[in-house]
């Protein structure tokens, strides 16, 4: 079985937009991979004029929120970096337990790379010299922000509609048999960037293995 990889178009986001952008993208992808019985949940984005769909699984929602929190924490520690989040779907293959460990092998069959370019400087500047900026030219900054927001929204919509949905529909042969009854049917993980902090990534990986989603392991 091959592993299909999708690199989503890079989005320029501000710090406070990260959460909503990631929610839109991650939930949309998971919704298309939750092939068990679900009742879809429409969510209106708080920042954008976009309605995305959640699969209705509270566990998934909680997990995604946790990951987003961690990512935001990471971004704050590593400002002005192009960051990438990887959402992966895998199959669990139980290898024969050896005397020292229970080896569980993961076979990834799909990976999504979400590329974000977080712009933090303008916000940092504005917070410091907020008062002066407002006095100088409030209208223009608001207008610029509006334009930038609209651009981001259009780009996000394009990513959601034309990239994710297109990819999900075109690549269907690699999807393994569904192991789960309801909700999110495939085990998945959300890996945060670890380019400058290798242990961080490893910690996350280990935590994934140990406290796996109850429905992951069939």
Residues lying near another protein in the complex (CB under 8 A): 28, 31-32, 35-42, 49-57, 157, 160-161, 165-166, 168-170, 172, 175, 177-183, 185
| Distance separating alpha carbons of residues 73 and 53, to the nearest angstrom | 25
Q: How far is the CB of 36 from another protein (least distance, A)?
A: 6
Residue 37 or 97 having the CB closest to another protein:
37
Q: How far is the CB of 87 from another protein (least distance, A)?
A: 16
Residue 106 or 157 having the CB closest to another protein:
157
- Dihedral sign from CA coordinates of 152, 155, 156, 157: positive
Q: Taking each helix axis from N to C terminus, what angle separates 58-77 and 18-33, rounded to the nearest 10 degrees?
A: 140
Q: How far is the CB of 60 from another protein (least distance, A)?
A: 10
Q: How far is the CB of 209 from another protein (least distance, A)?
A: 23
Q: Which helix (H) or strand (E) holds 203?
A: helix 198-210
Tokens linked to 62:
């909680």
Q: How far is the CB of 92 from another protein (least distance, A)?
A: 15
How many Cα atoms are found within 13 Å in the side-chain-facing hemisphere of 195? 10
Residue 72 or 216 having the CB closest to another protein:
216
Residue 63 or 83 having the CB closest to another protein:
63
User: Comparing C-alpha atoms, which of 208, 195, 177 is closest to residue 63?
Assistant: 208
Residue 147 or 178 having the CB closest to another protein:
178
| Distance separating alpha carbons of residues 36 and 13, to the nearest angstrom | 33
């Amino acid at each position: 079985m091959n592993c299909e990889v999708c690199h989503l178009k890079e989005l320029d986001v501000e710090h406070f937009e990260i959460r909503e952008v990631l929610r839109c993208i991650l939930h949309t992808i998971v919704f298309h991979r939750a092939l068990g019985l679900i009742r879809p949940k429409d969510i209106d984005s708080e920042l954008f004029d976009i309605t995305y769909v959640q699969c209705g699984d509270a566990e998934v929602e909680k997990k995604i929120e946790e990951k987003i929190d961690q990512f935001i924490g990471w971004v704050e520690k590593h400002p002005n970096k192009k960051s990438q989040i990887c959402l992966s779907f895998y199959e669990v293959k139980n290898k024969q337990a050896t005397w020292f460990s229970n080896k569980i092998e993961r076979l990834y069959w799909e990976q999504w790379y979400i590329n974000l370019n977080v712009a933090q400087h303008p916000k940092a500047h504005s917070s410091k010299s907020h008062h002066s900026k407002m006095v100088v030219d409030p209208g223009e900054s608001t207008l610029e922000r509006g334009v930038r927001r609209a651009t981001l929204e259009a780009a996000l919509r394009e990513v959601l509609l034309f990239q994710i949905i297109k990819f999900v529909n075109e690549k269907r042969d690699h999807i393994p048999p569904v192991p789960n009854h309801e909700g999110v049917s495939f085990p998945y993980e959300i890996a945060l960037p670890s380019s400058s902090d290798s242990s961080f990534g490893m910690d996350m990986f280990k935590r994934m293995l140990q406290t796996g989603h109850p429905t992951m392991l069939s």
